Structure 1
Amino acid sequence: MKTKKFLLATVAIAFIMVTCQVSRQGTSDKMLKTTDEDVSAIPTFTDNPSPNYLTPEQSIKTFKLPKGYHLELVASEPMIHEPVAIAWDGNARMYVAELNTYMQDVEGTDEHAPTSRVMLLEDTNNDGKMDKSSVFIDKMLLPRMLLCVGSELLVNETDTYDIFSYKDTNKDGVADVKRPVYTPGKKSPGNLEHQRSGLDWNIDNWIYMAVDPVRFRYKKGMLVADSIPSGSSGQWGLTHDNYGRLYFSSAGGETPALGFQINPVYGRMEFDDQYSEEFNAVWPIIKTPDVEGGLKRLRPDTTLNHFTASCGQVIFRGDRLPVDLQGDLLISEPVGRLIRRAKVINKNGKITLENAYDKSEFVASVDMNFRVVNMYTGPDGCLYLVDMNRGIIQEGNWTGPKSYLRPQIQRLGFDKNIQHGRIYRMVYDGMQPGPKPKMLDESSAKLVSYLAHPNGWWRDNAQKELILRNDPSVITALKNILDGKPTGYPKETSALGRLHALWTLEGLEALNPELLAFAMKDEDPEIRKAAVKLSEPYLKKDAQMLSGLASLKSDPSNDVRMQMIFSLANSKAQEARKLSDDIVASGQGNPVFSRAVRSIEKNNDAKQFGQKLGRLDAVDRTLVMNGSVIYKSLCATCHGADGKGVASKTAPPLAGSKRLSRNTDAAVYILLHGLSGPVEGQTYPTEMPSMKDNDDQWISAVASYVRYEFSNAPAIRPEAVKSIREKTAARDKAWTLEELQK
């Protein structure tokens, strides 16, 4: 009986915590880590795991999870194959993107054949398992992004930037209407691992994605693009927390989490200590021989030693798992067959991450085909895992005949495990999954009541649906939520409701300066922060708004003051600059404020000079720009304007040259003294002449440009040229390639 009461109390606390604590930006830095005693010891480590295919029933027994947590099967083959992403509509119907041609053998044969699809799954008896399915869209080219908007589904396919809407008008589970919503008509370059993912409708009503430097607004049935000057981040996977903070991940850069300090529209801000080097270490419970890069990525016991395939991350925001999981960042590592749980900690405005366990992971498996590539908070308040459940998890670029991976794949037979896939739901002892929503069938007034729901999925989707309907009848109710008038939302317990009401009003274009001024005085810092952000359209023309912001310059929340710096950059008024300077000065050395200013400055550079050139320091940018003028007037005749040489082969190509890499100053040596003899086995009619009669600034500019343009290497400053000039002053003839290599 006591246990039952305790479990009921736990559920009640979960509801209260989500509803009341909007300002839980992350846990306190005093939050204790979960101990190993809380983690199930079944199994602990498997020295010689089997690569054989396991049925869903067999696989589900292979997971190591914390005590009380369990995985339930939601769907598997033959209902689905090769699943990579899911999306629910407002009535909890699940759409599943399948990459049916992804690495069906070690060569990647016919990978770009248009035979993939999007499935529609339904749970008709409310037991949590999908029992009805249909092919919603067939004959697709590797669909990769999904977003439900009302009764339509937006889909992006691989190799294209285009996004189309699909709709089932006769209710047979098959899309019968297709229309364009964003069609730049350009082919997307690169292999499928390096193309976009996401379509995440954030609380700020912008739709974000990884990789591409753009975000969208959904207006009148179309996606309207807005550029992100400093570029987007990440690779496969995108998530946001209760307040709109975005979390990216980059497998290619072996970076488990990035881009989470600030919204990318304000630029970039990363800290060296936002997580420790220890955080990069991962702890599989099986040997992991099939890792791209080989032995350097393995410990002596042949377990993966650090993140190499991080993806599919999610901030858990549900209400049907223990409350201490809410707000945690979960990151999948499919090569290691594990899922990291990170505590998100706000340290005076700087977000840091810590592993929730000591040399252990939240989820780990000894099923060698366990490959989670995406995770989600579900409509029922539980956590969902999308497991491709396959042998090969690397694109063909890294499984070539001479790669480390190919013999491992063939030895273990990984190339034979294809066309499977599972979707799991994580549940917890004594906590029942929540009810199924029916948002598409409910009134707008009813949707307003969900803006304070304890499950973030409900809050997000109620807000999205209200904006899609563009129903002005709810505006009064939304305003009443903000000022605490009797609407069923007691002010002291509805901070999340007020936050969503504020952003819903923005999406309905029903905000005004008076409402923002009211929100700036809210007791919750997240609402004050949102009000500051929402003031940006008014700052360019409304002096009153600027004076209203001035009242927040000493706000006790560092997050509010940092948002002030970002938002004030939208005003050219002298008072705005002074207010921003005052905030930085009052920060008493807190690096977040000075870094915020730096991010804005670099973002402005990106707007003026473009994303790549804008990332350089002003000194290096000037060198590159000056070098560009010299190169195009003097050097392009022989080397080609694109650095690929000319038809007459007068001089060697520069594009991709090893002599321009960041690890050598060979470009300076060659410019000072010239280059003679064969280059890469090719003999040219003339040798590269010495340019040493030009000063250090000139040499520096040309070297910086060719490194920047043709090798993506950093600039070389004049003082470095001076040092090399002095060191080689006695040189009176051109270098040979052999000499330079020494």
Structure 2
Amino acid sequence: MSLRKVMLAGLTTAAFIIPVAVLGQTGALNLLSSPANRPWPAPVHPDGQGQVAALSPQDALKTFHMPPGYRLELVAAEPLVQNPILMEFDGDGRLWVLEMQGFAINDAMDNSFEPINNLVILEDTNQDGVFDKRTVFMDKLVMPRAFKILDKNCALVGEPPNLWKACDTNGDLKFDTKELLDKSFSTLGVVEHGANGLFWGMDNRIYVAEHTYDLEFKSGKFEVVPGLNRGQWGVTQDDGGRIYRNVNTDPLFVDYVSPRYFARNPDLVRTAGLYESLVRQEDTKLWPVRPTLGLNRGYRTDIFRPDGTASYYGGVSSPLIYRGDRLPKELNGQAFVVDGPTNLVHLLKLEDDGAGRLKATDFYPRGELLASTDERFRPVAMTTGWDGALYITDMYRGVSQDGPLQTDYLKDYIGKKGLAKDINRGRIYRIVKDGMVLDKKPSMSGETSAQLVEHLSHPSGWWRDTAQQLLIQRADRSVVPALKRQVLKAPDWRTRIQALWTLNGLDAMDAKLVTAALDDARPDVRAAAVRMAEPYIGKPGPVRAALLRKIDDPSWFVRRQLAASLGELPKDAKLEPIVAMLQRYGDDPVTVDAAISGLSDQEGAALAGLLRTGNPSRDAIAMLAGAASKSRDPAQVQSLLALASDGARAEPIRIALMEGMSMGLQGGDGRGGAGNAVVGGRAGSAVPGAMGRRSSAKEMEIAAVPTSLIALAASSGSAAEAAQQLTAGLRWPGKPQAPAATPLTPDEQRLFAAGKEIYDGTCVACHSPDGRGVERVGAPLAGSAHVNAAGDATTRILLSGKEGKMGLMPPLGAGMSDEELASLLTYVRRAWGNTGAPVVPAAVKETRQAYAHRDTPWTDEDLAIRRR
């Protein structure tokens, strides 16, 4: 069998038909599909060392490995679709696909910012399961990042820096009107870190990833609402409406609480409950079926098995909670993520402990749901179809890492394998299982509102979500009675919760219905009802009373939402119940931060109230003190200092007060750990110990000398350390000027001393004892821009050498250990008045591995370009 090819002079805005099915022996049209029931878990296929050629769609299908009974079906391929990055089905079963032709357009992997990208609509005109018609809905786009299908052939389109609402008003599926909704949607810079998402959540908020705002649909208009920058690429939700995201090499995060609550209080020092990681890095592994050395940080040899396969994610994106009803029941509610750099789709098992606390683990102990031996297989997004199948967007190209963020290692790897060549392809696949019966094709655009309401009872989340969104956009309140009946009587809790949110989106809730929903048997419904009770709690009454009773709800879902919703009470009514929540559940960081988010300028009063309760949570004390301090209100800070200096208080409480104040005054997220560091030399993000130290915020001026705090800081023990950290963020009359450089820690001082010995024995002849250099022999190091700069320029020079005006500075790396080089670098960067950050051995190891392929010295021009 061979794929039918249609040769086209170019892709235009006209609709055209391209058959991508093949003729079987009987003459009937059949789908192309991957081989079924191959050995699984699959053995690792050896990787050739030569260039990697692009495969035809037929040959690419032969490279896939899946568990028994599963297979891939090819539903679209080039030239019908090119460079696809996102997709979504509309209410009539058509597939909208965003194409990014401007990504990595040449051997230099430059991005094009010319108007050459498209949003297209694919149709299956003969109902054979294969798309054969392409219509360009919107062309001449500049590096678009996101889109969301709307009613009446409209779409939101994120085209940096603009967010458009584009519509087809005459039914030809080509936009003819365009309205600018916002002109600050992302930028035209690095693709990898641009705003994306535009995911319509169950709560009728349209979520944007990696951006500071979301959208809401109100009175027929889309409004920008404040959010918090979370996630990297992709957004999804579960049947309870909780939002999930991921980032870089961490596969799954959940929002237990909506970002709208955290955005209302700028003085929060932590946002637990928003973007909570569900997967411990130590507890998840990948199983590629080919060596995957082509990762951005593939030089970190620790992450690879002896066969060359990466054990961890190389660049995970686009999480998807499967909410369909056609694949095996065991997959319902589970999380899928794509990892393009390792050529696979990974499946995670999402688990609730029974009380509303979630975690995720690998679904399969070994092996992947989908893995390919083709290095050009680049899954970048997934979506659930109306038919109940899972669809995969394959950009199909050799390069998946954005050029400006590629390491030198990866550039070298791509060049040797020719991966930047043969672009402008793309495939879309459907995951099916033996015996699976696909659902019927929808036709929602022509249905009445009453018919749409019936779809809220459908077992598939795609049908429920699409119906909800269409009903809200139509604003037809004639369906309100039917929706209320569903809330009260539907046997499936998923129908009840989506009917609730549909009513909420239609501004058709009432106090009686909210009160009834607060006692629903399902915690997800009760949590939604807590949110919907907020408009009714401004005055005492039945709804407020019912809401306050939820403090004893058995589910964390409900209690955490209650902690957030209490902040919507009037100012004179919120303090007592919030303090009660903090006193009762102060050991849960999510409850703590959700509660504090609603206090705004009442954190100090809540702290005083909590201290009176006896044995309060240290975490709650610290977070309240942090928020109260972050406002930098002199009177409030002085009051907190008095509390922290009170020797009659228990030491753990004093430490919590001081640590919280330090976070508020100096910055910090209250979580501890190494920030975005990854464990075990993982493939992405930073390495513990290799990051520069956090710079402190500007010291806060206080009027009086904190005598008791200074005395405590001069002692020893945990309280003394907390006092030292706090005093570092304060300035008072007569306080000595802080040194130009942050003092070295004991470990850094040890490196410094060892580095001086190495310098005196190895470097002093060329660079002189005072670091001023020797004329025509060695460059001055005292005051050197390279030495004092942030980053690893000095490390790279020592490892590979440097060509300059005085000739060649020879490399020293081969003859020194990471510890010795770190010592020498720390000495050079802190001697003779230099103020560079010290260097730890882990940082030297990172740089050594990153540039191990380099066999030429650095130049000033090279060093000016940051490639990490």
TM-score range normalised by the length of the shorter chain:
0.7 to 0.9
Deviation at 1:200, TM superposition (A): 0.7
SS of the counterpart of 1:404? helix
- 1:564-603 alpha-carbon deviations (Å, 9 max, x no partner): 1111122245654443444555559666544654676769
Q: CA deviation at 1:178?
A: 1.8
Any idea what the Cα deviations from partners look like across 1:72-94, whole Å, max 9, x if unmatched? 11111010100000122211121
Aligned residue runs from structure 1 range 712-723, under 5 A: none
Determine the structure 1 residue equivalent to 2:439: 434
Name the CA distance, whole Å, in 2 between partners of 1:662 and 1:174: 63
SS state of the match for residue 519, structure 2? coil
Amino acid at match of 2:110: T
Cα distance, 1:189 vs structure 2: 6.0
CA pair 469-187 structure 1, distance change in 2 beyond 3 A: closer
**RMSD of aligned C-alpha atoms?**
3.6
Give 1:318-717 correspondences, 5 Å limit: 318-347=324-353, 348-399=355-406, 403-484=408-489, 491=490, 493-572=491-570, 576-583=574-581, 585-586=583-584, 593-594=591-592, 596-597=594-595, 617-623=660-666, 627=699
Query: What's the CA shift for 1:129?
Result: 1.0
Deviates more, 1:110-119 or 1:68-77: 110-119
One-letter code aligned to 2:349: K
Please state whether the residue corresponding to 1:551 is helix, strand or coil.
helix
- SS of the equivalent of 1:457 reads helix
Residue 350 of structure 1 aligns with an amino acid whose one-letter code is: R
Distance (whole Å) between structure 2 residues aligned to residue 224 and residue 264 of structure 1: 16
CA distance 1:327–1:168, shift in 2 (3 Å): same
Q: Distance in 2 between matches of 1:186 and 1:482?
A: 36
In the alignment, which residue of structure 2 is the partner of 1:250?
Answer: 247
Following the alignment from structure 2 to structure 1, what is the Cα–Cα distance between the partners of residues 323 and 178?
33
Q: CA deviation at 1:65?
A: 1.2
Report the equivalent of 2:214.
215
Change (3 A) 1:664 1:422: farther
Q: 1:336 to 1:658 in 2, by over 3 A?
A: farther
Cα deviation 1:231-284 (Å, max 9, x = unaligned): 231111111111111111111xx2222244433334432699842333343221
Q: Deviation of residue 295 (structure 1)?
A: 2.3
Q: Quick one: which amino acid aligns to residue 178 of structure 2?
A: K
Distance of 2:744 and 2:56 partners within structure 1 = 49
Question: CA 1:604/1:457 → structure 2, altered by over 3 Å: closer, same or farther?
Answer: farther
> Contact (CA 8 Å) 1:320, 1:381: kept in 2 or not?
yes
Equivalent residues of 1:376, 1:383 under 8 A apart: yes
Q: Render the CA deviation track for 1:40-76: whole Å, top value 9, x for unaligned.
A: 5274210225822111121122211122111111111
Distance apart, 1:537 and its partner CA: 2.7
Instruction: Label 1:110 to 1:426 Cα distance change in 2 as closer, same or farther (>3 A).
Output: closer
Contact 1:106 1:406 in 2 (8 A): no
Q: Which deviations, in whole Å up to 9, do the C-alpha atoms of 1:591-641 show, x marking residues without a partner?
A: 65446546767699889969xxxxx943243356652779xxxxxxxxxxx
Distance 1:629 1:515, change over 3 A: same
**In 2, Cα distance between the equivalents of 1:565 and 1:109?**
48
**Matches of 2:628 and 2:206, distance apart in 1:** 21
2:287 — aligned with what? 283
Deviation at 1:356, TM superposition (A): 0.5
2:230 to 229, 233, 237: 233
The alpha carbon displacement at 1:308 in A equals 2.5
Aligned to 2:101: 100
SS at match of 2:91: coil
| Partner secondary structure for residue 515 of structure 2 | helix
1:417 is displaced (CA, Å) by 2.9
SS state of the match for residue 366, structure 2? coil
Determine which of 244, 259, 280 is the counterpart of 1:264.
259
Q: What CA deviation, in whole Å up to 9, does each residue of 1:142-199 have, x standing for no partner?
A: 2221111102333434531x2112222333332222222x123577264011001111
Q: CA 1:678–1:166 in structure 2 vs 1: closer, same or farther (change >3 Å)?
A: farther
**Letter matched to residue 111 of structure 1:** S
Which blocks of at least 5 consecutive residues in structure 2 are unaligned? 1-36, 263-270, 600-622, 632-658, 667-695, 703-738, 753-769, 774-778, 784-789, 791-829, 840-868
Q: Is the 8 A contact 1:371 1:389 kept in 2?
A: yes
CA–CA separation in structure 2 for the residues paired with 1:210 and 1:607: 29
Aligned equivalent of 1:737, options 834, 846, 857: 834
TM-score (norm 2): 0.64
Opposite residue 309 of structure 2, the aligned amino acid is T
Residues 141, 159 of structure 2: 8 Å contact kept: no
Task: Look up the equivalent residue of 2:171 and give its one-letter code.
Answer: K
Q: Give the whole-Å Cα distance in 2 for the aligned partners of 1:305 and 1:215.
A: 35
% identical aligned pairs:
32
Tell me if structure 2 keeps the 8 A contact 1:678–1:737: no
Letter of the structure 2 residue corresponding to residue 474 of structure 1: V
From 304, 313, 321, the equivalent of 2:310 is 304
- After TM superposition, the structure 1 = structure 2 runs for residues 159-174 of structure 1, keeping only pairs within 5 Å, are 159-160=160-161, 162-174=162-174
Measured in 2, the distance between the counterparts of 1:418 and 1:658 equals: 49
Q: Relative to 1, partners in 2 of residues 1:607 and 1:305: Cα closer, same or farther, differing over 3 Å?
A: farther
Q: Does 1:126 align with 2:127?
A: yes
Q: Cα–Cα, structure 1 residues 395 and 128, in superposed 2: closer, same or farther, change >3 Å?
A: same
What do residues 410-447 of structure 1 show as CA deviations (whole Å, max 9, x unaligned)? 22121113111111111111111111111110000000
1:658 CA displacement: 9.9
> Structure 1 residues 547 and 68 mapped into 2: Cα distance closer, same or farther (>3 Å)?
same
SS at match of 1:217: strand
Partner residue in 1 for 2:178: 178
- The amino acid that maps onto 1:438 is S
Specify the SS of the correspondent of 1:477: helix
Output the CA distance in 2 between the equivalents of 1:198 and 1:354. 25
Offset at residue 550 of structure 1 (A): 2.4
Q: TM-score, normalised by structure 1?
A: 0.75
- The Cα shift of 1:39 comes to 8.8
- Assess if the C-alpha contact under 8 Å between 1:564 and 1:580 holds in 2: no
- Do the aligned partners of 1:82 and 1:98 also contact (CA within 8 Å) in 2? yes
**Which residue does 1:224 correspond to in 2?**
223
Please say if residues 261 and 351 of structure 1, whose CA atoms lie closer than 8 Å, have aligned partners that are also in contact: no
Give distance in 1, aligned partners of 2:492 and 2:230.
33
Shift of 1:221: 4.6
Report how far residue 681 of structure 1 moved: 6.4
Aligned residue-pair number = 607
Q: CA deviation at 1:104?
A: 1.9
Find the residue that maps to 2:145 and give its secondary structure. Answer: strand
Task: Give the letter aligned to residue 407 of structure 1.
Answer: D
Which amino acid counterpart does residue 242 of structure 1 have in structure 2?
D
* Residues 608/92 of structure 1: CA separation in 2 closer, same or farther (3 Å cut): farther
1:107 alignment partner AA: A
For 2:470, what is the secondary structure of its paired residue? helix
Question: Contact 1:307 / 1:333 at 8 angstroms: preserved in 2?
Answer: yes
Distance 2:741 2:104 in 1: 32
Q: Which residue of 2 aligns with 1:722?
A: none
Q: Does the 8 A contact of 1:321 with 1:428 survive in 2? A: yes
C-alpha distance in 2, partners of 1:606/1:216? Answer: 27
Deviations 1:489-527 (A, max 9, x none): xx4x23211111111111110112111011112222221
Q: Distance in 2 between matches of 1:511 and 1:281?
A: 46
> Is residue 297 of structure 2 the alignment partner of residue 293 of structure 1?
yes
Contact in 1 for aligned 2:514/2:533 (Cα 8 Å): yes
- Matched position secondary structure for 2:416: helix
- Structure 1's 179 and 596: CA in aligned 2 closer, same or farther, altered over 3 A? closer
Partner SS, residue 299 of structure 2: helix
